[in-house]
Amino acid sequence: MIIAIDGPAASGKGTLARRAAERFGLDHLDSGLLYRAVARDVQRRGGALEDAKAAAQAARALDPSTLDDPALREAGAGEAASIVARIPEVRAALLDFQRNFARRPRGAVLDGRDIGTVVLPEADVKIYVTATPEVRARRRYLEMQGRGETATYQGVLAEIQGRFPRLRKILADAVYTGGIAEWAKRFGGWVLEAVAKPERKKGEPFKVMKWRWIVERTFAWRGRSRRLSKDYERQPESSEAMIHIAMCHLMLRRLEPR
């Protein structure tokens, strides 16, 4: 018997899947851990998450006995997983992995996104679990607290409701490199890209650089409003909100009539 359990993040599908597996004596696979494991293996080998070849190799060589690694549930693991998940070769390799897992003689219980539609459309039992955003946020918040992660309920709720897109890359001035870049990668799985001010030779015409303009103006705006964002560097929910507010503020100023 193959049981496929789908649903949005923090809806309780993992809890239900584990209980169903225990009740029927079946093996259980949390498919979300597969992409996290691939990202972990790529990084431990010194590779870049965007390297399609390295990520595909890691996916094909994935050791299922390592899926209980606590590191897969740490902060930043989900963001890293979302990067490798965009690689078609990785998705193809992990699709085969999941289908082979389900073909065990006694069957299996698998939970994750698109399990009952894309991965196992012929599953014997399909269940879709859902819950209100408030309940999902509370579940996720308690999980993060249990792992010792810094979070607020309102911040998690905002993420669940999709008020702000999740950060994947941070553009910053060249001075923000070294230790803070490592912290950003470890804490939130963010890639910090330094956008240096280009050297301009004497007499050379000025050339607008899109990303450099954004970095300079955002930092300038934040500098004038520092009293409003004292926890800017250390609170991810504040970071997302302040960046969006800053950019909206700048765009409105550019659009207002002179």
Digit-coded pLDDT (tens) for 175-221: 666 677 776 666 556 677 777 766 777 777 766 566 665 666 565 55
Q: What is the predicted pLDDT for the residue at 253?
A: 61
Average per-residue pLDDT for the chain: 81
* Secondary structure letter of residue 229 according to DSSP: -
Average pLDDT over residues 160-182: 67
Q: What is the predicted pLDDT for the residue at 79?
A: 84
Q: Which range, of 7-21, 77-91, 146-160, averages the lowest pLDDT?
A: 146-160
Task: Give the residue with greater pLDDT, 170 vs 67.
Answer: 67
Q: Report the predicted TM-score, pTM, of the whole model to 2 decimal places.
A: 0.63
Average pLDDT over residues 128-134: 91
Distance, CA of 9 to CA of 133 (rounded, Å): 10
Q: What is the predicted pLDDT for the residue at 183?
A: 67
Residue 41: other Cβ atoms inside 10 A: 20
Digit-coded pLDDT (tens) for 244-254: 666 666 666 66
- Do you know the residue count of the chain? 258
Q: Are residues 79 and 166 in contact, defined by beta-carbon separation less than 8 angstroms?
A: yes
Whether the CA torsion 28, 29, 32, 38 is positive or negative: it is: positive
Q: What is the predicted pLDDT for the residue at 23?
A: 96
pLDDT confidence bin for 229, thresholds 50/70/90: very low
pLDDT confidence bin for 227, thresholds 50/70/90: very low
* Share above pLDDT 70 across residues of the chain, in percent, rounded to a whole number: 71
Dump the DSSP string for 173-212.
Answer: -TTS-THHHHHHHHHH--EEEE-PPPP--TTPPP---HHH
2-130: what fold? Rossmann fold (3.40.50)
Q: What is the predicted pLDDT for the residue at 158?
A: 83
The amino acid at residue 57 is Q
Q: What is the predicted pLDDT for the residue at 163?
A: 57
Angle 46-49-52 from CA coordinates, rounded to 5°: 105
Task: Give the residue with greater pLDDT, 91 vs 147.
Answer: 91
Angle 138-74-13 from CA coordinates, rounded to 5°: 45
For the chain, state the CA radius of gyration.
Answer: 22
Task: Give the residue with greater pLDDT, 75 vs 33.
Answer: 33
Q: Where are the domains of the chain?
A: 2-130, 167-255
The string over 126-137, giving b where at least 16 C-beta atoms fall within 10 Å of a residue's C-beta and e elsewhere, is: bbebebebeebb
Digit-coded pLDDT (tens) for 39-89: 999 999 999 999 999 999 999 999 999 999 999 988 788 889 989 998 999
pLDDT confidence bin for 159, thresholds 50/70/90: confident
Q: What are phi and psi of 236, to 5 degrees?
A: -60, -35
